[in-house]
């Protein structure tokens, strides 16, 4: 299957700082990537759809000014959590679709802890 | 938008038994239904999927059935093994429109006891 890589896998930061998470498709080009958030023992909630060369599409209730998404190339999307607070602590996972319609491949996830 | 419900939330079986997880979806336009397995702290892994043009698909010990009329689909695992223990998520999307967003169910924690 296709490979999606996410970095960093873990990050601890102080409240008020910004954190950037990278998502790369390693062996395919992804015009669309998705960012999910997962709280402990809960499901994956779609935050936004990242489109190469255009603005991201955010789900209802997700603050676009707080979660900045940049999809600058066909293999890289970044999520920046700005002015992070303890309630932003979560597992953030990106995903991308390869050639087969619908089939998504996930990155390893990034566990963010805001102190 | 699409809404996916999943049951049960937890499922405990003995090794060798079968396990069944059920999902329902709301959007009749959905036509792609994958199942993911997620181990603690790791990424979801696709284990099987089904598209709306078929009613059943099987891959070794894993099978998925789809009832489009009732808008529900199920995951069947036979001869369960302890390594099958994980959280399983169903999902649904429409691959013919828009960004093909996947909407996930709430997850089922499967525990297989030796």
pLDDT tens, position by position, B54-83: 899 999 999 999 999 999 999 999 999 999
Task: For residue A14, report the phi and psi dihedrals to the nearest 5 degrees.
Answer: -85, 150
Q: Is the pLDDT of residue B16 over 90?
A: yes
To the nearest whole angstrom, how far is the Cα of B36 from the nearest Cα of chain A? 10
Q: Supply the DSSP symbol for B93.
A: B
Mean per-residue pLDDT over chain A, rounded:
92
Q: Is the pLDDT of residue B101 over 90?
A: no
3-state secondary structure of B32: strand
Q: What is the mean pLDDT of residues B15-42?
A: 95
Asked if B37 is an interface residue toward chain A (Cβ–Cβ < 8 A), one would say: no
Rounded Cα distance between A106 and B102, Å, is: 12
Q: Is the pLDDT of residue A46 over 80?
A: yes
Rounded Cα distance between B42 and A8, Å, is: 14
Q: Which of A46, A101, A106 sits opposite B101 (nearest CB)?
A: A46
Joined tokens for residue B56: 């059943």
Q: Which residues of A touch B104 (CB under 8 A)?
A: 43-45
Rounded Cα distance between B80 and B68, Å, is: 27
Task: For residue B83, report the phi and psi dihedrals to the nearest 5 degrees.
Answer: -70, -5
Contact A111, A9 (CB under 8 A): yes
Asked if A46 is an interface residue toward chain B (Cβ–Cβ < 8 A), one would say: yes
Asked if B10 is an interface residue toward chain A (Cβ–Cβ < 8 A), one would say: no
Q: Which of the listed ranges A29-43, A85-99, B71-85 does the model predict with the highest average pLDDT?
A: B71-85
Q: What is the mean pLDDT of residues B16-32?
A: 96
Q: Give percent of chain B above pLDDT 70.
A: 98
Q: Looking at per-residue confidence, does B46 or A98 come out higher?
A: B46
In total, chain A counts a number of residues equal to 115
Res A1: pLDDT: 65
CB contact under 8 A, A103 and B49: yes
């Amino acid at each position: 299957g296709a490979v999606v890589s996410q970095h960093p896998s873990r990050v601890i930061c102080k409240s008020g700082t910004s954190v950037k998470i990278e998502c790369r498709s390693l062996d395919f080009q992804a015009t669309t990537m998705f960012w999910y958030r997962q709280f402990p023992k809960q499901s994956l909630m779609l935050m936004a759809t990242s489109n190469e060369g255009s603005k991201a599409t955010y789900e209802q209730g997700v603050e676009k000014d707080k979660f900045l998404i940049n999809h600058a190339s066909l293999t890289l999307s970044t999520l920046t959590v700005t002015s992070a607070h303890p309630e932003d602590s979560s597992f953030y996972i990106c995903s991308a679709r390869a050639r087969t319609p619908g089939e998504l491949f996930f990155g390893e996830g990034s566990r963010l802890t805001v102190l | 938008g699409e809404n996916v419900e999943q049951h049960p939330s937890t499922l405990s079986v003995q090794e060798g038994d079968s396990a069944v997880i059920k999902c329902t979806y709301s959007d009749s336009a959905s036509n792609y239904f994958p199942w993911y397995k997620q181990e603690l702290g790791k990424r979801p892994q696709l284990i099987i999927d089904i598209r709306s043009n078929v009613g059943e698909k099987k891959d070794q010990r894993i099978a998925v059935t789809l009832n489009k009329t009732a808008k529900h689909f199920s995951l069947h695992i036979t001869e369960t093994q302890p390594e099958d223990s994980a959280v399983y998520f169903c999902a649904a999307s429409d691959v013919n429109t828009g960004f093909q967003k996947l909407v996930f169910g709430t997850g089922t924690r499967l525990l297989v006891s030796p």
